[in-house]
Amino acid sequence: MIEQASFALRGRNPDVLTCIANLSNDEVFTPPEFANRMLDTLAEAWAADNGGASIWADNSVRFLDPFTKSGVFLREIAKRLIAGLETEIPDLQTRVDHILTQQVFGIGITRLTSLLARRSLYCSKHATGEHSVATAFANDDGNIWFERTEHSWDGSKCQFCGAPRAIFDREPELENHAYAFIHTNDIKARLGELFGADMQFDVIIGNPPYQMTGGAGGTSDSSIYHLFVEQAAKLEPRFVSMVIPSRWMAGGRGMDGFRQSFLGGGHLRELSDFPASSEVFPGVEIKAGVCYFLWDSAHQGNCNVTTFRGGEALGPVLRKLDEYDIFVRDGRAISILHKVLEREELPINSILSRDTTFGLASNFDGYSETEKSGHIPLFYIRRMKRGIGYVPREAISKNVHLIDRWKLLVPEAYNGGDGLPHQILGKPLIAPAPSACTQSYLVFDVATPDEAASIQSYYMTRFFRFLVSQRKITQHALNSTYAWVPMQTWDRTWTDEVLYEKYRISDEERAYIESQVRSMSVDDGE
């Protein structure tokens, strides 16, 4: 058994977890290299606070992955502890048994992933199995717990995660994705039931589930990763480290409260941001990218922020996280924002419509292709193609006063990929009076064709789109996304040079803006 433990836990086994992380799955599996990056950040913080001591040489530190999938975090932690505790516990089998029974714990998110995690950590799907590297467990689960958890229905939705009953009230043989860690009102008591009443975890780390299908009670997905972050903090560990989508920084349904408390709590010590998710999860596209953080219960103050793009690191930069209502991802933008916002000009979204200006959804198809008497032009985008249809004036029941106004229409959504410089927004369109549009466009309300042309010139400047980009974290640009763009007068053609001069933008700041935002002209494509 000692030889077996030595073979399995000294890194001689082929690492299948890298292969799993590169597969297309319903779950996003963490590559071992990235898990180790997070563990390095944790170890550096521990050493800084403990006179250079290694967290891996401390036999009392307890680790929990409360949503383990492949078991990669638990495995890599165990490997580090096995090396770090060699002097204190020389016998390998004794050392392995201590680590696996007293220091490393996990909660599986599904039955299948719990078996996978046990295989990664114990080298057997059962902790007491013939090939298990552990010899001190009395049960098959070891310290990786999984039992099917049921949703707690409150009408049509789960009171804990918001899962729609119509989708997830399933037969026992089907996964219902009710995650034990967030389906409780008292997480301390629940963890006591699983692992012992006196259990206190020092480190909570992992990669939580990100979203729930139809979690808003409709057809759209709803984010749930923030629920795991909030629950982990309730356990009062010393450190929490998780990899989560970055869209919480400036967007996300139901994220306002989480963002405010997360940024303003003062406990974020390290934040590493990856605008392109493929740099973390190969082959996986997560809009707005991903990040990992180190939350430190003993830390109060600013946060070291590092942005990774194209293999290069910007930072770390010590940042005040709650300066604004959203998090500005790139610290180089702060000086520009200060110059713009200190003038306290009216924001341009005061003349910008909100969602579904004329009450017609993006998939509205009740228009005719040819103009008819009494019909007005209807501008739409369907299947990524722009078009003009015609509808009776009476078909418009919302904001009817805008029908006979000139308008600048701007696409509500624009992706364009992760590369830089980026266009940020789709091409604008001047719509004459009378006219209307579907939900695919937002509407700038203007009085005359000349005003429409003026605001269009402003929209196409790099300066305008750069300010939008600071609040646009996904493909969607809603009214609030334009909150930092100042109002101008609509009596001229606006250019970047004029705007740079007005807001005292330095040469260095100009170069930065132009490295982020590419030029736009009326003749550009979508």
Please provide the distance, in angstroms rounded to a whole number, between the alpha carbons at the two ends of the chain: 64
Q: Within this chain, do residues 19 and 71 fall inside the same structural domain, yes or no?
A: yes
Residue 194 lies in a domain: no
Q: Is the pLDDT of residue 20 over 60?
A: no
Residue 231 lies in a domain: no
Whole-angstrom Cα distance, residue 176 to residue 476? 30
Average pLDDT, the chain: 91
Q: Within this chain, do residues 477 and 362 fall inside the same structural domain, yes or no?
A: yes
The pLDDT of residue 469 = 95
370-373: list long-range contacts, CB under 8 Å, 24+ apart: none
In which band, very low, low, confident or very high, does the pLDDT at 218 lie, cut at 50, 70 and 90? Answer: very low
Residues across the chain: 526
The pLDDT of residue 26 = 57
Q: Is the pLDDT of residue 257 over 60?
A: yes
Could you list the residue range(s) of the whole structural domain that residue 395 is in?
Answer: 348-516
Q: Which residue, of 300, 328, 356, is where some domain finishes?
A: 328
Q: At 368, which CATH number?
A: 3.90.220
Listed residue (387, 369, 378, 346) closest to 488, CA to CA: 346
CB 124 within 8 A of CB 139: no
Q: Within this chain, do residues 268 and 410 fall inside the same structural domain, yes or no?
A: no
Task: Read off the pTM.
Answer: 0.88
Q: Report which DSSP code applies to 422.
A: B
In which band, very low, low, confident or very high, does the pLDDT at 219 lie, cut at 50, 70 and 90? Answer: very low
Please state the rounded mean pLDDT for residues 210-230: 77
Please state the rounded mean pLDDT for residues 420-437: 95
Q: At 114, which CATH number?
A: 3.40.50
Listed residue (61, 92, 99) closest to 78, CA to CA: 99
The pLDDT of residue 27 = 67
Q: Within this chain, do residues 369 and 449 fall inside the same structural domain, yes or no?
A: yes
Over residues 144-162, the pLDDT tens digits come to: 999 999 999 999 999 999 9
CB 215 within 8 A of CB 247: no
Residue 166 lies in a domain: no
Q: Within this chain, do residues 307 and 375 fall inside the same structural domain, yes or no?
A: no
User: Phi and psi of 412, rounded to 5°?
Assistant: -70, -25
In which band, very low, low, confident or very high, does the pLDDT at 364 lie, cut at 50, 70 and 90? Answer: very high
Whole-angstrom Cα distance, residue 500 to residue 351? 23
Listed residue (106, 120, 109, 111) closest to 76, CA to CA: 120
The stretches of 173-264 forming alpha helices (DSSP H) are: 187-195, 225-234, 256-264
Whole-angstrom Cα distance, residue 10 to residue 89? 16
Q: Within this chain, do residues 128 and 80 fall inside the same structural domain, yes or no?
A: yes
Q: Is the pLDDT of residue 316 over 80?
A: yes
Cα-Cα-Cα-Cα dihedral sign, residues 19, 22, 25, 28: positive
Higher per-residue pLDDT: 471 or 11: 471
Residue 391 lies in a domain: yes
Residue 151 lies in a domain: no
The pLDDT of residue 19 = 57
Percent of the chain exceeding pLDDT 70 equals 93
Q: Within this chain, do residues 314 and 462 fall inside the same structural domain, yes or no?
A: no
Q: Which residue, of 328, 361, 388, is where some domain finishes?
A: 328
Q: Within this chain, do residues 364 and 493 fall inside the same structural domain, yes or no?
A: yes
Whole-angstrom Cα distance, residue 469 to residue 515? 13
The pLDDT of residue 4 = 45
Q: Which residue, of 328, 358, 379, is where some domain finishes?
A: 328
b/e code 342-366 from CB counts within 10 Å (16+ = b): eeeeebbbebbbeebbbebeeebee
In which band, very low, low, confident or very high, does the pLDDT at 410 lie, cut at 50, 70 and 90? Answer: very high
Classify 439 in phi/psi space as left (phi over 0), alpha (psi -120 to 50) or beta: alpha
CB atoms within 10 A of CB 283: 10
Please state the rounded mean pLDDT for residues 192-219: 83
Task: Specify the 3-state DSSP secondary structure of 152.
Answer: coil
Please state the rounded mean pLDDT for residues 108-131: 94
Amino acid, res. 424: I
In which band, very low, low, confident or very high, does the pLDDT at 285 lie, cut at 50, 70 and 90? Answer: confident
The pLDDT of residue 310 = 85
Q: Within this chain, do residues 409 and 297 fall inside the same structural domain, yes or no?
A: no
Q: How many domains does the chain have?
A: 2
Whole-angstrom Cα distance, residue 440 to residue 407? 14
Q: Is the pLDDT of residue 21 over 50?
A: yes
Q: Is the pLDDT of residue 297 over 80?
A: yes
Residue 337 lies in a domain: no
Residue 393, token pair as written in the block: 């004036």
Listed residue (95, 96, 87, 78) closest to 39, CA to CA: 78
| Contact residues for 57 (Cβ-Cβ < 8 A; gap 6+) | 84, 85, 87, 88
The pLDDT of residue 451 = 96
CB atoms within 10 A of CB 241: 23
**What is the separation of C-alpha 249 from the centre of its chain, rounded to a whole number of angstroms?**
7
Q: What is the 3-state secondary structure (H, E, C) of 26-51?
A: CCCCCCHHHHHHHHHHHHHHHHHHCC
User: Phi and psi of 102, rounded to 5°?
Assistant: -115, -15
In which band, very low, low, confident or very high, does the pLDDT at 383 lie, cut at 50, 70 and 90? Answer: confident
Task: Specify the 3-state DSSP secondary structure of 164.
Answer: strand
Q: Within this chain, do residues 378 and 312 fall inside the same structural domain, yes or no?
A: no
Residue 228 lies in a domain: no
Residue 67 lies in a domain: yes
Over residues 37-83, the pLDDT tens digits come to: 999 999 999 999 999 999 999 999 999 999 999 999 999 999 999 99
Higher per-residue pLDDT: 98 or 197: 98
Q: Within this chain, do residues 305 and 408 fall inside the same structural domain, yes or no?
A: no
> What are the Cα distances from residue 370, in Å, to 396, 432, 495?
18, 17, 38
CB atoms within 10 A of CB 519: 13
Over residues 322-362, the pLDDT tens digits come to: 999 999 999 899 999 999 999 999 999 999 998 899 999 99
Q: Within this chain, do residues 312 and 382 fall inside the same structural domain, yes or no?
A: no
Higher per-residue pLDDT: 8 or 311: 311
